C-alpha cells in the first residue's frame, strides 16, 4: 500500500486568502456570503454567494500565465503556492518525478465557457479565444499546478 502525506496547506476563499484567515473564520463561525459582483446577475435566481473577493492572482502567478488560466485554475494555483511554501520541501528532480497532483472539480472554467458562449451567440458574434478549450477543461487546475512546479509524478 502506498502512503500519502499532506505536507502543506493553502486556501483561497471568501473568508480570506490563506490558511490562517480561513481557520479563524471556521473557529468563529464567520460566514463569507455576500452580494455577487462583477457580472450581470439579473437573470439569475440567486443574488448572494461565497466569492473570494480579495483574490489578486498576479501576486503569485506570472502575469503572462494569467491569460491562459480561468479563475478557478488561478484560485487552485494560488492555494498550491501557499501549500508548497507551507510544506517547506526541498524539491529535487527525483522528488518532482515522484510527486503527483490531484485536484477535485466537477467542472472546468465556467467563466471562460460563459464568455465563449456570449461571444459566439451574443448580439455581436465574435471569434472565440483560441485557449478557450484548455481553460474550460476540469483538469486545467491540476495541469497548471503540475507545470508551475515541474511535478510529473504518477
Spell out the domain ranges in the chain: 12-149
What pLDDT is stored for residue 138 in this prediction? 93
What is 12-149's CATH superfamily? Thiolase/Chalcone synthase (3.40.47.10)
Could you tell me which of 66, 37, 63 has the C-alpha nearest to residue 51?
Answer: 37
Among 7-11, 32-36, 82-86, 125-129, name the one with the lowest average pLDDT.
125-129
User: For residue 134, what pLDDT band results from cuts at 50, 70 and 90?
Assistant: very high
Q: Angle, to 10 degrees, between the axis of helix 110-121 and the axis of helix 71-87?
A: 160
pTM: 0.87
Could you tell me which of 42, 44, 46, 69 has the C-alpha nearest to residue 58?
Answer: 69
What pLDDT is stored for residue 87 in this prediction? 94
pLDDT tens for each residue of 74-128: 999 999 999 999 999 999 999 999 999 999 888 889 999 988 988 888 877 788 8
What pLDDT is stored for residue 1 in this prediction? 65
What pLDDT is stored for residue 28 in this prediction? 96
Amino acid at each position: 500500500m502506498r502512503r500519502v502525506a499532506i505536507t502543506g496547506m493553502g486556501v483561497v476563499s471568501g473568508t480570506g486568502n490563506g490558511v490562517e484567515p480561513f481557520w479563524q473564520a471556521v473557529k468563529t463561525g464567520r460566514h463569507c456570503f455576500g452580494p455577487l459582483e462583477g457580472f450581470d446577475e439579473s437573470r439569475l435566481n440567486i443574488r448572494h454567494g461565497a466569492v473570494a473577493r480579495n483574490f489578486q492572482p498576479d501576486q503569485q502567478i506570472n502575469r503572462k500565465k494569467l491569460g491562459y488560466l480561468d479563475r478557478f485554475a488561478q484560485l487552485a494555483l494560488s492555494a498550491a503556492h501557499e501549500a508548497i511554501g507551507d510544506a517547506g520541501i526541498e524539491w529535487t528532480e527525483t522528488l518532482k518525478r515522484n510527486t503527483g497532483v490531484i485536484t477535485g472539480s466537477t467542472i472546468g472554467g465556467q467563466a471562460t465557457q460563459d464568455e465563449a458562449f456570449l461571444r459566439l451567440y451574443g448580439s455581436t458574434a465574435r471569434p472565440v479565444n483560441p485557449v478557450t478549450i484548455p481553460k474550460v477543461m476540469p483538469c486545467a487546475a491540476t495541469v497548471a499546478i503540475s507545470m508551475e512546479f515541474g511535478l510529473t509524478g504518477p
